[in-house]
Chains A and B, each alone.
Chain A
Amino acid sequence: MQLPNKKGRFGPYGGRYVAETLMPALQELEQVYQSLRRKSNFKKTLREHLHTYVGRPTSLYFAERLSTYLGGPKIYLKREDLCHTGAHKINNTIGQILLTKEMGKKRVIAETGAGQHGVAVATVAARAGLKCEVYMGTEDMARQALNVVRMRMLGAKVTGVDTGSCTLKDAISEALRDWTANVGDTHYILGSVLGPHPYPMMIRDFQSVIGLEARQQILRAEGRLPDLLIACVGGGSNAIGLFYPFLKEDSVRMVGVEAGGLGIDTGKHAARFATGSVGVLQGTMTFLLQDENGQINLTHSVSAGLDYAAVGPEHSYYRDNHRIDYASATDDEALAAFHVLAKTEGIIPALESSHALAHLAKVAPTMSKDQMIILNLSGRGDKDVNQVSTLMGLTGAITGGEV
């Protein structure tokens, strides 16, 4: 069975809940994407751009010291942090900018949380010579200031959004409003497997390059498939990108890690599958954090990229049928894992990816030495250095020392 179906549904999830003004643009996008994706020219161009500009394939790295430190299975890191611009986000933007040109649109807009998607859009827009405007919550602008500067250097206009929680959710709403007003000449490059159809499908497809490569690489290195895949889940694009090419392999278990914030029972988190329920937000039906009246709750995470009230609809589907398990890691657990990776492997991970690492630290010791895990290291932590050092200063919770 092919998912999503023609109406953009993954079981009951997904769909296209948008204002009428955007419906024709979404239909056009779907049509252009469906026709291009099969064309060998398009596939060849995309492959070339991913190779020569993004730097793919990214390596699948055996993290030997980390494996020893955690005392369990062999741990491989899929190094999306080595992509140009520092995260997996560009796998999607490089595809969508080709569609933008095909549709003849002159301007692109985007939302961004951690700023990684915004930087990835600003980058491909600069390279394509297109105008670019990025919406970003003012709270995220403060905690990811470095990425704001990067986007501006790349020629993008960064517009702060100070409504609601001043984070990713509000940035998406503002981008949707901009798109509604400028749909004639503007393409909206959404950054995760969220929003109305065809975005969740299309972005999954662009991100599947992660899993396709990882699969070949692990077979070459180990001669067999891994036992477990781990990735963090905000909207869930890096996770579905890694998981998708392994879904049919029953022997491969998968865990998506949501942001547990200050702890699930504090209510200050972004773990949709822990306490959420089904609803519609920003164009799609999926699991949301909402109150009993259907108002969207404010979320909390130390990581701007995971700080969002909804999860990609395809994740809701695989959660229901138990193909993918979902867990959460708290701010403190993620910060601890951040330091462990830096000190064992010399890699500073993004705070988003640190949530996946935190879960790894919990499960690896329970597994045997002849097992294998692939963890998606979705981004690098340069952008988080300021925030983490501030947090260290404030709490003193994180100590230096050797591991």
Chain B
Amino acid sequence: MGRIEATLKNVLLMREKSLIAYVMAGDPTLAATEEIVLEVDRAGADLIEIGVPFSDPIADGPTIQKAADRALKYNVSLRDILALVANLRKQTKVPLILMSYCNPIFAYGLPEFFKEARRVGVNALIVPDLPPEEAGGFLPLARRELIDMIFLVAPTTPDERLKKILKAGSGFVYYVPLTGVTGSKLSGKAEICERITHLKTHTDRPVVAGFGIASPEDAKDLGQAADGVIVGSALVKIIGTAAENPNYLSDLSAFVASLKGALKPAG
């Protein structure tokens, strides 16, 4: 069992659910991202996902698209982001997950990327446009460098495909509770929880829900069934106010604390 799965299971032992916070690297600047990650860590996030900006993010809604545009204005690259991780690793032990579309990784070079990712202390990788069918080149390298490959499961995924996805992945199972892009509106929470419960009968790995979770209420409701939740767009929205809001970092911190609070047992 790797760092990711162990962390999620430890949180469960404390009768809590995990909070995974997503931030876009380089939004508004790389230096700010370093501060943001450390602040989000202090505020209670159990794991942190760092987005790699891409010019054509087909799985992302407008909030994260805009964040990527802000980051790309200064040409933030995967190389810069791995250097950022190296810096962060000197300051925190929080498990770090990179989320990147295929193309920046291909451009970097697959073997070089995995080697460097391990060296700087990346624990896992999520590639939203890489289904297991196309992951043949990634998986052996990820295994060799002890980096978990986390795959997504969608509401449209039939059980036959689920087996293939579970077999390819490690770390946790990323359940997308809606058909749509990041930041879409969540609906039908009871059915979502049923679906997550069903998913858990197929795997011993933690199941984490992400896409559309925007408030402590959402986190609490989905945390009933899931082992953790990922919150992205809602955090990125606060970070997006950085230019005009001098207190954005403390606003972010308070929001993260309220999300984590909703994932702890009542009383």
Which of B65, B78, B104 meets A163, CB within 8 Å? B65
Q: A282-B56, A290-B103, A296-B55 are in contact. Are A181 and B179 (CB under 8 A)?
A: yes
B40 to chain A, nearest CB (A): 25
Which of A18, A170, A177, A296 meets B129, CB within 8 Å? A18
Which of A20, A278, A288, A294 meets B131, CB within 8 Å? A20
B179 to chain A, nearest CB (A): 6
Q: How many A-B contacts at CB < 8 Å in the complex? A: 120
Task: List B171-215 residues whose CB lies under 8 Å from chain A.
Answer: 176, 179-181, 184
CB atoms of B55 and A15 under 8 A apart: no
CB atoms of A293 and B79 under 8 A apart: yes
CB atoms of A169 and B184 under 8 A apart: no
Question: Which size class do B's interface residues fall under?
Answer: 35 or more
CB atoms of B156 and A280 under 8 A apart: no
B247 within 8 A of partner (CB): no
B256 within 8 A of partner (CB): no
Interface size in chain A (residues, C-beta < 8 A): 37
B22 within 8 A of partner (CB): no
B111 within 8 A of partner (CB): no
CB atoms of B181 and A23 under 8 A apart: no
B105 within 8 A of partner (CB): yes
CB atoms of B59 and A19 under 8 A apart: yes
Q: A19-B128, A280-B103 are in contact. Are A293 and B179 (CB under 8 A)?
A: no
CB atoms of B65 and A176 under 8 A apart: no
Q: A23-B157, A290-B107, A294-B103 are in contact. Are A180 and B59 (CB under 8 A)?
A: yes
B149 to chain A, nearest CB (A): 13
Separation of A182 and B102 alpha carbons in the complex (Å): 24
CB atoms of B134 and A16 under 8 A apart: yes
Separation of A283 and B130 alpha carbons in the complex (Å): 9
Task: List B78-107 residues whose CB lies under 8 Å from chain A.
Answer: 78-79, 101-107
Task: List A266-325 residues whose CB lies under 8 Å from chain B.
Answer: 278-283, 288, 290, 292-296
New A-B pairs, 19, CB < 8 Å, besides A21-B179, A180-B180, A181-B184: A18-B129, A19-B59, A19-B129, A19-B154, A20-B152, A20-B153, A21-B154, A164-B56, A169-B56, A184-B179, A278-B106, A280-B102, A288-B103, A292-B107, A293-B78, A294-B54, A294-B103, A294-B106, A296-B56
The 29 sampled A-B contact pairs (Cβ below 8 Å) are A15-B134, A17-B102, A17-B134, A18-B131, A19-B59, A19-B128, A20-B157, A21-B156, A21-B179, A23-B154, A24-B157, A24-B161, A163-B69, A173-B57, A173-B58, A181-B184, A182-B179, A183-B156, A184-B156, A280-B102, A280-B129, A281-B56, A282-B58, A293-B79, A294-B78, A294-B103, A294-B104, A295-B103, A296-B56
Partner-B contacts on A (CB < 8 A):
7, 15-25, 163-164, 169-170, 173, 176-177, 180-184, 278-283, 288, 290, 292-296
Partner-A contacts on B (CB < 8 A):
54-59, 61, 65, 69, 72, 75, 77-79, 101-108, 128-131, 133-134, 151-158, 161, 165, 176, 179-181, 184
